[in-house]
Amino acid sequence: MLNGKCALVTGGSRGIGRAICLALAKQGASVALVYAGNEAAAAETAALVQALGVPVKAYRCDVADFAATEALVKAVTEDFGGIDLLINNAGATRDKLIMRMTEADFDDIIAVDLKGAFNLIRHTSAAFVKKRGGRIVNITSDAGLMGNPGQANYASAKAGLIGLTKTVAKELGGRGVTCNAVAPGFIRTDMTAAMNAQVLESAEQFIPLKRLGTPEDVAALVAFLCGDSAGYITGQVLQVDGGLRM
């Protein structure tokens, strides 16, 4: 159980982020929900968390902004008395073949998906080290392990997130802080809902479990990694993809 812990979850308003907020709340964690722009979705998620009987507050923040994330961490620390669990889930896509990808297409996705995680880790790590404990979970992707046509920006960011995860695990492990990455495959979210139905049906045929994953499948692993039972697991990349990339 996570009673008395505070979880900061970026990209927490919808999809996998919402499921993570709820999974952690069900185990007793307070939730600092960070969103980029969809205030209505953030409010809906906050209401669902509040219904579970734990403190929750939504914060709007551009995770790519170093100064803004520093202010965010200070605000959450003041509101909740500290941060114990950091879930870097915020992400964006801007898919194009590399011959058509602009510099902004590449830079903007790197800024959110990779630099955003660095920013939050940078601003929380000192407190984690001081209290000799903390859990960091970074949401990467199968694309970061395998690459994916049309996603040079996204795959690069997610691959970089894996390197960041392993480095942080080595730097902070001696102070009782774990850092792991979760790599979802095809998960039923707004992102996959926008994909071609035939592409999704074809993908299911290559997944040994013969179905797409759910946000709850990912959230269950994140909640486990945040708990005491995962205290000796760090620097790992754990795939939630139904066996697709085994």
SS3 state of residue 238: strand
Residue 85 tokens read as 């669990």
**Neighbour-count burial of 94, counting CB atoms closer than 10 A to its CB (0-12 exposed, 13-18 middle, 19+ buried):** middle
* DSSP codes of every residue in 149-209: TTBHHHHHHHHHHHHHHHHHHHHHGGGTEEEEEEEE-SB-SHHHHTS-HHHHHHHHHHSTT
Q: How many CA atoms lie within 13 A of 71 on its CB side?
A: 10
Cα 14 to Cα 160: distance, rounded to the nearest angstrom: 24
- Helices 152-172 and 103-110, axial angle in degrees (round to 10): 30
Active site residue 154: yes
Quick one: CA torsion of 144, 114, 173, 19, rounded to 10 degrees?
Answer: -80
Are the C-beta atoms of 113 and 154 separated by less than 8 Å?
yes
DSSP symbols for 116-146: HHHHHHHHHHHHHHHTT-EEEEEE--HHHHH
Please identify every residue annotated as catalytic: 154
